[in-house]
Amino acid sequence: MEAVLSSYLAHLAVERGLAANTLASYRRDLRRYVEHLKARGRVTFGEVGEADVLAFLTALREGDGDHPALVAGSAARAVSAVRGLHRFALREGVTGHDPAHEVRPPRQLRRLPKAIGVAEVERLIAASGPDGAPLTLRNRALLELLYGTGARISEAVGLALDDLEDDQVRLRGKGGRTRVVPVGRFARQALDAYLVRARPSLLGHGRGTPAVFLNARGGRLTRQGAWEVLQAAAERACLEGISPHVLRHSFATHLLDGGADVRVVQELLGHASVTTTQVYTLVTVDKLREVYAAAHPRARQ
């Protein structure tokens, strides 16, 4: 079983190109699964039955002496990893059956993405820092870009100067997928101000880098550094629960509120499937209710 597991993890890393963090999660979940099978006396995957997989799911949800109980989302991820492992074993001819085929991951409660209003976004961006300071110009450009393009924080800090093209930006997303996203007037102006008035002075503190966003030492701004920029601005603006993904959610929600087609938003966000984007349409139900209440003659009672 260890040999099959190693082959599957190598397959995920090389052929599927999974991110390092995702691969680490799969490795952790599947090693726990193999230990579970060994404790039940299974030596090969050919001996594993559906009852073994179901027992693992139960152990995930209930916990044991060595592991705490997992919430539905974490358990679902582990079961998905197990299902993938058994599909791989069947496809490679290691076994003649797939005992996990009928085992479904636990259903998760759908949590709506958090989005803040346009006025709150403006407060956040206005709290970038002291006027005119190089780092303030950088911070404002970063926040404008995150909200104006829906970029993930890793995509923003990964930007190089060659990725900026007039009124659009090239973002490199998950799975190595690249997309081109328009840059609005406010984000473009903030970027221009930073690139002309602040970046050269920051660059002088370092050894030279093509990165768009630099830290105070002239090197590439890290994800942690960008997170700290956002948190500091949120604190100054007296906003709670703000994260880079909140700006991404707000970008998508405000586009849909403005009448954008969900498939256009899908392309802008870099989602592989439109079903991932459709969760944002649930956020705009409140907007539909407001319009209905204001416009329908039988709604005003």
Question: Is residue 124 located within the same domain as residue 234?
Answer: yes
Specify the pLDDT at position 268: 87
Question: Is residue 50 located within the same domain as residue 180?
Answer: no
Would you say 171 and 151 are in contact if contact means Cβ atoms under 8 Å apart? yes
Question: Is residue 150 located within the same domain as residue 84?
Answer: no
Structure tokens that stand for 252 in this block: 């998508």
* CATH code of residue 129: 1.10.443.10
**pLDDT of 229 over the 70 cut:** yes
Question: Is residue 124 located within the same domain as residue 270?
Answer: yes
Give the total number of structural domains in the chain: 2
Residue 254 falls in the annotated catalytic set: no
Percent of the chain with pLDDT over 70: 92
In a domain, 186, yes or no: yes
**How sure is the predictor about 109, in pLDDT bands with cuts at 50, 70 and 90?**
low
In a domain, 110, yes or no: no
Specify the pLDDT at position 285: 62
Residue 152 falls in the annotated catalytic set: yes
**How sure is the predictor about 136, in pLDDT bands with cuts at 50, 70 and 90?**
very high
Question: Is residue 6 located within the same domain as residue 49?
Answer: yes
Question: Is residue 34 located within the same domain as residue 162?
Answer: no
In a domain, 187, yes or no: yes
Task: Quote the CA–CA distance of 281 and 89 in Å, as a whole number.
Answer: 39
Catalytic residue among 174, 179, 220, 223: 174
Residue 292 falls in the annotated catalytic set: no
pTM for the predicted model, two decimal places: 0.62
Mean pLDDT of 97-109: 83
Catalytic residue among 83, 138, 152, 254: 152
**pLDDT of 248 over the 70 cut:** yes
Catalytic residue among 172, 248, 249, 254: 248
Question: Is residue 46 located within the same domain as residue 126?
Answer: no
* Choice between 256 and 41, residue whose per-residue pLDDT is larger: 41
Mean pLDDT of 232-239: 95
**How sure is the predictor about 297, in pLDDT bands with cuts at 50, 70 and 90?**
low
**pLDDT of 124 over the 90 cut:** yes
Residue 174 falls in the annotated catalytic set: yes
Question: Is residue 72 located within the same domain as residue 162?
Answer: no
Highest average pLDDT, of 18-22, 32-36, 297-301, comes from: 32-36
Residue 114 falls in the annotated catalytic set: no
149-201 per-position pLDDT tens digit:
999 999 999 999 999 988 899 998 877 788 889 999 999 999 999 999 999 99
Instruction: Point out the domain boundary residue: 91, 108, 140.
Output: 91
Question: Is residue 213 located within the same domain as residue 283?
Answer: yes
**How sure is the predictor about 284, in pLDDT bands with cuts at 50, 70 and 90?**
low
Highest average pLDDT, of 27-36, 249-258, 264-273, comes from: 27-36
In a domain, 299, yes or no: no
Would you say 134 and 190 are in contact if contact means Cβ atoms under 8 Å apart? no
Specify the pLDDT at position 55: 92
Both ends of the chain: CA-CA distance in Å? 66
In a domain, 111, yes or no: no
* CATH code of residue 74: 1.10.150.130
Domain span at 58: 2-91
**How sure is the predictor about 16, in pLDDT bands with cuts at 50, 70 and 90?**
confident
Question: Is residue 283 located within the same domain as residue 141?
Answer: yes
Question: Is residue 238 located within the same domain as residue 148?
Answer: yes
Q: What is the mean pLDDT of the chain?
A: 88
Residue 207 falls in the annotated catalytic set: no
Specify the pLDDT at position 107: 75
In a domain, 297, yes or no: no
Question: Is residue 170 located within the same domain as residue 217?
Answer: yes
Specify the pLDDT at position 159: 95
